[in-house]
Amino acid sequence: MLVSILHRATGDGLAIVGGLILLWWLAAAATGPDAYALFIACASSWLGTLVLVGLTWGFFQHTLSGLRHLAMDTGWGYDVAVSKTTARLTILGSLALTALVWAFIIYG
């Protein structure tokens, strides 16, 4: 149940928040260097970084959950034990992939 709710919430979050950030970035790039510098300053602040990390996690959670649902559409994974295991793996996998991406961004 949690993974299904997270799938919907991350999809909405990616569409709304990701779309607004994309539009802000495009508008800032089209407006000029001062607007773009403001965007970069906001995006690289602690709050901006937190939002970007959240979007990264949302992307991986939504993707892994979608793959899980795709596998279930073929009839695989409806056993309670398998369903619970794959649900846990989507959450753990999204956290691990987010940590790897941000470790690469920060340290790589």
Instruction: Tell me the C-alpha distance between 103 and 100, whole Å.
Output: 5
Per the structure block, which two tokens stand in for 58?
A: 């949302």
pLDDT tens for 6-37 read: 999 999 999 999 999 999 999 999 999 999 99
CA 100 to chain centre: 13
pTM, rounded to two decimals: 0.94
Residue 79 one-letter amino acid: D
Mean pLDDT of 55-62: 98
Instruction: Centre a 10 Å sphere on the Cβ of residue 97 and count the other Cβ atoms it contains.
Output: 17
The pLDDT value recorded for residue 66 is 97
Domains (range + CATH), the chain: 2-107 (1.20.1300.10)
DSSP annotation of 44:
T
